[in-house]
Amino acid sequence: MTNLEKMGWTQPIEKEEHDKLARVITVQKNSYRLSDGNMEFLAQVSGKYLHTASGTLDFPAVGDWVVVEKLYDEEKAVIKELLPRTSQFIRQAAGERTEAQLVAANVDTVFIVNALDHDFNSRRIERYILSTYESGATPVIVFSKKDSCSVERLEEVISSTEEIAIGVPIISVSGKTGEGLDQLLSYLPSGKTGALLGSSGVGKSTLINTLLGKEIQETRGIREDDSKGRHTTTHREMFRIPNGALLIDTPGMRELQLWEGEGAMGATFQDVEALEEACRFKDCQHDTEPGCRVKEAMDNGELSIDRFQSYLKLQRELAYEKRKQDQKALMEEKNKWKQISKDQKKKYRAR
């Protein structure tokens, strides 16, 4: 296994190029910690990179592959280029501004982590599934803290999840006892990259620690205590776990605000879309039309009303997000031309 393969590289590559590649393992403000599988070094993007990047998505995130110029003596590097991504998990950044936030790049499997000692929320799981499909990764639903929950509740939760997560694997694990981790690893073979996503406190970091073994976490000292004296993850970081896979830990998300996802609606709501297609009229509004398969399915309990409403709500939300993003792009374009014409006026005046 070459050093880059240790970091998840899979393509054939020339020797000269090989020495110029590295993977982002964590992002700290404007500096990046990279690894080429042999060593870690800090890096910043080059001036030219900064100049040509046009938005947040153009900047490296954890999991990205970058072309670097290494300055070995200082364990530093300059990032010159970003390689195309195989997947990118994006959400609308927290706050008012219309802005994309890249959570992780080049992830094969997204583990959607839900704690069995927290509330169960189908709607939240649907949002994560949608965003995962949209990212280009494959979702796996993980119920954590299995040790804290009765067998009956576990069965109940799993059967409710099966109704809304069609075709998505569902597993249950305990970071505390290690139960179920072999199942988790079966979705994350050597060389693949996974990411743990979910709300705060669901046990993501505990899973990583158990997978890594205690000493590694302690020597790294990457956790910071929050006000309640708990360990809480403050940044995203990629770890190489003993089976040779890579796993990204992320800070808990309060809510997953969608950025895009239209293309993933069909995969996420296969059941609903299949019913829609069976309606007599192609443009059925599922209201009062005769031969409406959706309405029939809701009447006889095949399709839950909540699920159908969630489908409609997500559609509206995505349309709204899209309008906001289009408006923003239009404003930016206008401002660019304004600036250009200002500059030109200045030039003429100077003559």
From Zn ion, ligand GTP, none, interface partner of 86 (C-beta below 5 to 8 A by class): none
From Zn ion, ligand GTP, none, interface partner of 168 (C-beta below 5 to 8 A by class): none
Is 80 a known ligand-binding residue? no
> Least distance (Å) from Zn ion to the CB of residue 290?
9
Is 232 a known ligand-binding residue? no
Cβ closer to ligand GTP: 250 or 310?
Answer: 250
> Least distance (Å) from ligand GTP to the CB of residue 279?
42
From ligand GTP, Zn ion, none, interface partner of 294 (C-beta below 5 to 8 A by class): Zn ion
**What residues numbered 258-317 form the site for Zn ion, per CB under 5 A?**
279, 284, 286, 292, 294
Is 142 a known ligand-binding residue? no
From Zn ion, ligand GTP, none, interface partner of 292 (C-beta below 5 to 8 A by class): Zn ion
Cβ closer to ligand GTP: 153 or 323?
Answer: 153
164 is a site residue for Zn ion (CB under 5 A)? no
Cβ closer to ligand GTP: 63 or 203?
Answer: 203
Interface with ligand GTP by CB under 6 A: which residues?
144-145, 147-148, 174-176, 200-206, 230-233, 251-252
Is 37 a known ligand-binding residue? no
Cβ closer to Zn ion: 33 or 286?
Answer: 286
Is 55 a known ligand-binding residue? no
Is 149 a known ligand-binding residue? no
C-alpha separations of 63 from 33, 37, 133, 187, 200 in Å: 11, 13, 17, 18, 21
Nearest C-alpha neighbor of 122 from the set 250, 300, 314: 314
> Least distance (Å) from Zn ion to the CB of residue 121?
27
Residues annotated within the binding site are 144-147, 198-206, 279, 284, 286, 292
Residues annotated within the binding site for GTP are 144-147, 198-206
Site of interaction with Zn ion (CB under 5 A): 279, 284, 286, 292, 294
